[in-house]
């Protein structure tokens, strides 16, 4: 039998995408003005229950603007996680500010205890400003990432932010649809708890506009500033006067047409992803040395990415497993290389990074698309079970089993 290729995470475009995009083309509204853009902003805001939303070209652009409107300048520092995609951190540098890298906890999101210890022991809080003892610079914000659709500990983070006067920027690019079902923030969506949050609609995310992003906030002044900056900072529409340096970051009507169709299906996608996650979880539990990382039980997760944890009892290490699964036409990948170890960030401060290193060595992301069938999941599990028989073949430098 010729086994089909099972991709890691690909778009699912079987709803009204073609209809809405066709309408955008037929009406010849394809660029950065058009009714779909406003409609997509309104519908996203309504879905996540935020006061408003501002569309942008992608999540990276959204994070750039989010940091700017939160008041981060070239003289400041921003605390960021080291275990994340580099697009979460680069916007800090776009502004000319410097990141300080923080470890993760067992949920792979920022370690709140270390964050607190860092602010208490390594900084001074004077006149409402948190000053890094080492660099003497002000730390203006903490950027948290809701890794793989899990939720960072927002209760802990907001407490720390209040104690040390920090802005909280939520990189919720992977977590649209994730919300608290318990605790202080019950009902609140990822991205809407800090000062400002950002979603991504890149092709590998749970819903896609090809490329796209959305800024959300309950602070109307931040939203107004974000809209201003993403649309070239025009202070007069007719006469083209500009009061500061703006950006051409607004989403196009074509992207938004796709986005509306995708948003209509988001809850269905989450259902499929949850079912597949639970099936994987149940089957993988039976394999010695393997487990799937949990999502927190205080949240309804969007189940975006599944993290397979592989310990010493499993016959293959991370790299062998990747090679083996790729030979079985299953697309998998390790988690991101830690950002504090990437060339552009080697000189930046990193605080007691321990768990991130350990998880990096052991975690592999396995197929999770909303197109994934039950049969696909069972095939992946079957291959994981049979890995033992492949060790010799892999030892010979060949990944054929
Ligand atoms: C995808 C992603 C981004 C960037 O979003 P784009 O829309 O691709 O620019 C930023 N941070 C994290 C954690 C992401 O996963």
Yes or no: say if 103 and 111 are a contact pair by the CB < 8 Å rule: yes
Q: How far is the CA of 315 from the centre of ligand 1 (A)?
A: 33
The answer, yes or no, to whether any atom of ligand 1 lies below 6 A from the CB of 171, is yes
Residue with tokens 């008041």: 71
Closest atom of ligand 1 to 58 CA is 7
**Architecture of the CATH domain 17-261:** 3-Layer(aba) Sandwich (3.40)
**Ligand 1 proximity of 150 Cβ (cutoff 6 Å):** no
Please state the domain extents for the chain. Answer: 17-261, 266-386
| Ligand 1 contact via 81 beta carbon (within 6 Å) | no
Residues 126-131: contacts with CB under 8 Å, at least 24 apart: 128/165, 129/165, 130/164, 130/165, 130/166
Q: Which atom of ligand 1 is nearest to the CA of 213?
A: 7
**Token duo for residue 122:** 């390594």
The Å distance, Cα 327 to ligand 1 centre, comes to 28
- With tokens 């950006």, the residue in question is 247
170 lines ligand 1 (CB under 6 A): no
Q: Is the CB of 85 under 6 A from ligand 1?
A: yes
| Sign, Cα dihedral of 247, 56, 63, 343 | negative
Ligand 1 atom at shortest distance from the alpha carbon of 61: 9
Written as one string, the DSSP assignment of 237-278 is TTTTEESS---B-PPPHHHHHHHHHHHHHHHHHHHHHHHHHH
Helix (H, G, I), strand (E, B) or coil at 341: helix
- Which mutation among 202, 208, 211, 258 tests ligand 1's pocket best, with the greatest number of atoms within 8 A of CB? 202
234 forms beta bridges with 242
* Residue ranges in the chain modelled with pLDDT below 70: 1, 389-401
Cα 261 from Cα 34, distance rounded (Å): 16
* pLDDT for residue 388: 73
> Fold identical between 17-261 and 266-386?
no
Q: Which atom of ligand 1 is nearest the CA belonging to 62?
A: 9
Q: 383 in helix, strand or coil?
A: helix
- Ligand 1 pocket: which of 63, 171, 178, 199 to mutate (most atoms within 8 A of CB): 171
Kindly provide the b/e burial profile for residues 171-206, where b requires at least 16 CB atoms within 10 angstroms of the residue's own CB: bbbbbbbbbbeeeebeebbbbbbbbbbbbbbbebbb
For ligand 1, whether the C-beta of 55 sits within 6 Å is no
Query: Distance between CA atoms of 316 and 310, rounded to whole angstroms?
Result: 8
The pair phi, psi for residue 122, each rounded to 5°, is -100, 0
| Ligand 1 pocket residue status of 84, Cβ below 6 Å | yes
Q: How far is the CA of 310 from the centre of ligand 1 (A)?
A: 25
Strand (E) or helix (H) holding 61: helix 59-69
Q: How many helices (H) and strands (E) does the chain have?
A: 12, 17
> What is the residue with the minimal CA distance to atom 5 of ligand 1?
59
From the CA of 85, how far away is ligand 1's center (Å)?
Answer: 7
Are the C-beta atoms of residues 37 and 54 closer than 8 Å to each other? Answer: no
| pLDDT tens digits, one per residue of 337-373 | 999 999 999 999 999 999 999 999 999 999 999 999 9
Q: HSE (CB half, 13 Å, CA atoms) of 125?
A: 14
Atom of ligand 1 nearest to the CA of 202: 7
Ligand 1 lined by 206 (C-beta under 6 Å)? no
| pLDDT for 2 | 78
Angle at 104 (CA atoms; ends 203, 385), nearest 5 degrees: 65
Whole-number pLDDT of residue 398: 45
Question: Domain 266-386 falls in which CATH fold?
Answer: 3.90.1150
pLDDT score of 3: 86
Of 117, 90, 91, the C-alpha closest to 102 is: 117
């Amino acid at each position: 039998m010729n086994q089909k290729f099972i991709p890691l995470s690909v778009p699912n475009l079987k709803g009204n995408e073609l209809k809405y995009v066709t309408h955008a083309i037929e009406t010849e509204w394809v660029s950065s003005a058009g009714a779909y853009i406003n409609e997509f902003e309104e519908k996203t805001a309504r879905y996540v229950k935020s006061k408003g939303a501002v569309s942008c070209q992608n999540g990276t652009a959204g994070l750039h603007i989010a940091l700017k409107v939160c008041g981060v300048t070239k003289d400041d520092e921003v605390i960021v996680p080291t275990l994340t995609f580099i697009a979460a951190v680069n916007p800090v540098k776009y502004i000319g500010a410097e990141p300080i890298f923080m470890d993760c906890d067992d949920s792979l999101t920022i370690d709140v205890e270390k964050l607190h210890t860092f602010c208490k022991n390594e900084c001074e809080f004077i006149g409402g400003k948190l000053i890094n003892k080492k660099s003497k610079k002000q730390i203006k914000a903490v950027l948290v990432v809701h890794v793989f659709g899990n939720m960072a500990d927002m209760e802990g983070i907001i407490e720390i932010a209040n104690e040390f006067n920090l802005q909280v920027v939520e990189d919720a690019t992977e977590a649209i649809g994730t919300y608290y079902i318990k605790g202080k923030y019950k009902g609140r969506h990822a991205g809407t708890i800090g000062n400002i949050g950002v979603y991504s609609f890149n092709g590998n995310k749970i819903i896609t506009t090809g490329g796209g992003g959305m800024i959300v906030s309950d602070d109307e002044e931040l939203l107004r500033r974000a809209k201003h900056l993403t649309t070239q900072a025009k202070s007069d529409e007719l006469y083209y006067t500009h009061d500061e340096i703006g950006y051409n970051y607004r989403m196009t009507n074509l992207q938004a047409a796709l986005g509306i169709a995708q948003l209509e299906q988001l809850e269905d996608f989450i259902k499929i992803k949850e079912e597949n996650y639970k099936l994987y979880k149940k089957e993988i539990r039976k394999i010695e040395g393997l487990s799937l990382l949990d999502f927190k039980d205080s949240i309804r997760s969007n189940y975006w990415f599944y993290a397979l944890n592989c310990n010493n009892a499993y016959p293959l290490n991370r790299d062998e497993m990747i090679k083996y699964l790729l030979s079985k036409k299953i697309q998998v990948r390790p988690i991101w290389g830690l950002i504090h170890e990437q060339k552009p960030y080697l000189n930046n401060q990193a605080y007691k990074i321990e768990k991130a290193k350990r998880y990096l060595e052991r975690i592999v992301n396995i197929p999770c698309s909303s197109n994934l069938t039950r049969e696909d999941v069972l095939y992946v599990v079957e291959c994981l079970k049979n890995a033992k028989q492949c060790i010799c073949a892999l030892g010979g430098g060949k990944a054929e089993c």
